[in-house]
Amino acid sequence: MNRILSATLCALACAPFFASSAPLLRAQTAPTILYAQSFRQGPTQITEQTFEAKLDPQNPVYLQRIKDAHGKEHYVFTLAPQGPEGDNNVTSWRAKLSDLRHPIYDNILLASQQPSSDPADNLWRLEPRNFNSVPIRATRIIKVDSFYVILDVKSYHFTPLDSPYLDSMTVQVKFTNTDPRPPAP
């Protein structure tokens, strides 16, 4: 009987603490969303699509043609590996969007055409290392022309686990004409 009474008193005394900490716990698990605008701003919209790229050293490059709203191929989206020069090991993947009509621009996912350490200018770099300015699990939203590119790293794996070399990465990519950011509070 004393144990039941003690457990009940503890539950009643502790309830306000657990209730007040619930929003804090939810806030800690909320996903990080990072947003940037490409240097390319214009009226072009695209045919919306979502796909998943499964990358590994045997299949290191993913390429997808993106159509504009009129159904014509307008862009090429690529995920390509990065690693030590002259080596087949992969340390990260890089997302790239090229405009087939304006090949002068190598990657229009960039916020600036100048190299920068600003996280907003590096959302296209999928690097799981701890010292990267963009967390690997962050949802990356990049506005290009009048559409949005969303990059979500769903999984990645190192072999061996303490190695700097990746043996796989899965990335979900979405092209949409609607702003995917949650409304401001």
User: Tell me: the pLDDT tens digits for 81-126?
Assistant: 998 887 889 999 999 999 999 888 889 998 887 777 788 888 999 9
Question: What is the per-residue pLDDT across 144-173, written as a single tens digit (0 to 9) for each?
Answer: 999 999 999 999 999 888 888 999 999 999
Q: Which residues contact 120 (CB under 8 A, 6 or more apart)?
A: 34, 35, 36, 111
Are 70 and 19 contained in the same domain? no
Look up the pTM and report it.
Answer: 0.81
Residues 47 and 91 in one domain: yes
Do 84 and 162 lie in a common domain? yes
At 26, which amino acid appears? R
Is 183 domain-assigned?
Answer: no
Instruction: Specify if 185 maps to a domain.
Output: no
Looking at the fold, whether 105 and 69 belong to one and the same domain comes out as: yes
Q: Same domain, yes or no, for 98 and 117?
A: yes
Bin 109: left if φ > 0, else alpha if -120 < ψ < 50, else beta.
alpha
Query: Does a structural domain hold residue 163?
Result: yes
Question: What is the side-by-side order of every strand in the sheet holding 92-99?
Answer: 62-67, 73-82, 92-99, 125-126
Q: Are residues 13 and 51 in the same domain?
A: no
DSSP state of 87: -
What phi, psi does 15 have (nearest 5°)? -55, -45
Range of the domain at 47: 32-176
Maximum distance among all Cα pairs of the chain, rounded to whole angstroms: 80
| 12 and 88 fall within a common domain | no
- Report yes or no: 166 and 90 within 8 Å, Cβ to Cβ: yes
Count the domains in the chain. Answer: 2
